């Protein structure tokens, strides 16, 4: 297979994405049966993090170990990158030594440039623009309980951020409808809106967005890097909390999703995230299985 990257969901076809979800479900079953499966023996994944992480780091590192390989945790502070070595040079050198590179950073242009100069697959583990790995886990979570997501309705309540952008791409690639409700001034980026226009509805009304939804999903009101805007955002997002009232407008069996970390009492009520409709712990676990399927697809 020629060199492939995963910088956004758009790097894979719908068929490839569906195949990955099916494979993630198989890998999950294999792990439950404690079956040894080490297709990435002697392979190494470099993981570059310029932002915090719990789920992403643990899932990629554990996933590589389970597949027989090794993961290397790198922080720019301890790399020459942090002292001004160009991304291009870092990419050329690191990619001659490892079999894949995973990057979490602010600028999407950073991962694009790294990929341009890399000899091995590059995976976007969150930028300010997209969080595609999260969506693999989220679609897996729906599919293993309810089957195909095609034709379903998802309500995104909150910020038009990186995770929202990836849900928008997912709506087109997996063929479902995404009702997006954001406060004014916090809409998703116009280029992502244009690409996915046929599959999304934009509004500023959380109640209208939630009506009959099969999934209600939200995320923090202040993403990493927006800590200074926290107070201002708390005000702007008043009325956008996913609480029992909002959930009651959705389908009675609707799932509540959140990529985590969550802030109870801000974007979601404790009674919702800790309640019967919440699938957030499965979503978190599925990061492991979905990314193992991705690593197998890109590196094996």
List interacting residues with ligand CP (CB under 6 A). Answer: 53-56, 126, 134, 259-260
Give dist(CA 179, CA 250) in Å, integer: 12
CB 103, min distance to ligand CP, A = 13
**Can 164 be counted among the known catalytic residues?**
no
Indicate which residue of 23, 131, 172, 233 is catalytic: 131
**Can 4 be counted among the known catalytic residues?**
no
| Residue 220 site contact among ligand CP, ligand NVA, none (CB < 5 to 8 Å, cut-off depends on kind) | ligand NVA
Rounded to 5 degrees, φ, ψ at 226 are -110, 20
Is 8 among the residues that bind ligand NVA (CB under 6 A)?
A: no
**Can 219 be counted among the known catalytic residues?**
yes
| Residue list 120-139, contact with ligand NVA (CB under 6 A) | 126
**Can 104 be counted among the known catalytic residues?**
yes
Among 193, 202, 224, 236, binds ligand NVA (CB under 6 A): 224
Peptide bond into 261 cis (omega under 30): yes
Is 259 among the residues that bind ligand NVA (CB under 6 A)?
A: yes
CB within 8 Å of 294: residues ≥ 6 apart = 6, 20, 123, 133, 136
Among 169, 179, 196, 223, binds ligand NVA (CB under 6 A): 223
Rounded to 5 degrees, φ, ψ at 48 are -105, 120
Choose between 52 and 203: whose C-beta lies nearer to ligand CP. 52
Q: Are strands 100-104 and 44-49 parallel, antiparallel or unpaired?
A: parallel
Give dist(CA 131, CA 163) in Å, integer: 5
Kindly report the number of other CB atoms within 10 A of residue 277's CB atom: 18
| Nearest-CB residue for ligand NVA | 223
Distance in Å from the first CA to the final CA of the chain:
10
Strands (E), 27-145: 44-49, 70-74, 100-104, 122-124
Give the number of residues written for the chain: 300
CB 173, min distance to ligand CP, A = 20
Is 291 among the residues that bind ligand NVA (CB under 6 A)?
A: no
| Residue 223 site contact among ligand CP, ligand NVA, none (CB < 5 to 8 Å, cut-off depends on kind) | ligand NVA
- Residues taking part in catalysis: 104, 131, 134, 219, 259, 287
Residues in touch with ligand NVA (CB under 6 A): 126, 161-163, 219-220, 223-224, 259
């Amino acid at each position: 297979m020629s060199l492939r990257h995963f910088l956004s969901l758009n790097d894979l076809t719908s068929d490839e994405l569906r195949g990955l979800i099916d494979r993630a479900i198989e890998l999950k079953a294999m792990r439950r049966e404690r079956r040894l499966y080490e297709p990435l023996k002697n392979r190494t994944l470099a993981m570059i993090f310029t932002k915090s992480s719990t789920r992403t780091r643990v899932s990629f590192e554990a996933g590589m170990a389970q597949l027989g390989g090794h993961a290397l945790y790198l922080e720019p502070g301890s790399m020459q990158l942090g002292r001004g070595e160009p991304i291009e040079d870092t990419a050329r050198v690191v990619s001659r030594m490892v079999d894949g590179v995973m990057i979490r950073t602010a600028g999407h242009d950073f991962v694009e440039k790294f990929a341009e100069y890399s000899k091995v697959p590059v995976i976007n583990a969150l930028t300010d623009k997209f969080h595609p790995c999260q969506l693999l886990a989220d679609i897996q979570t729906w599919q293993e309980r309810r089957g195909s997501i095609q034709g379903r309705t998802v309500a995104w309540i909150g910020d038009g951020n990186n995770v929202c952008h990836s849900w928008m791409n997912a709506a087109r690639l997996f063929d479902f409808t995404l009702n997006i409700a954001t406060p004014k001034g916090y809409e998703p980026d116009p280029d992502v809106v244009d690409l996915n226009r046929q599959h999304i509805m934009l509004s500023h009304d959380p109640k209208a967005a939630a009506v009959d939804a099969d999934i209600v999903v939200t995320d923090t009101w202040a993403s990493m890097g927006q800590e200074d805007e926290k107070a201002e955002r708390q005000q702007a997002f008043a009325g956008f909390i996913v609480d029992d009232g909002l959930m009651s407008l959705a389908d009675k069996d609707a799932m509540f999703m959140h990529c985590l970390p969550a802030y109870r009492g801000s974007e979601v009520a404790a009674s919702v995230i800790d309640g019967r409709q919440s699938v957030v712990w499965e979503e978190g676990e599925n990061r492991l299985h979905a990314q193992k399927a991705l690593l197998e697809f890109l590196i094996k």
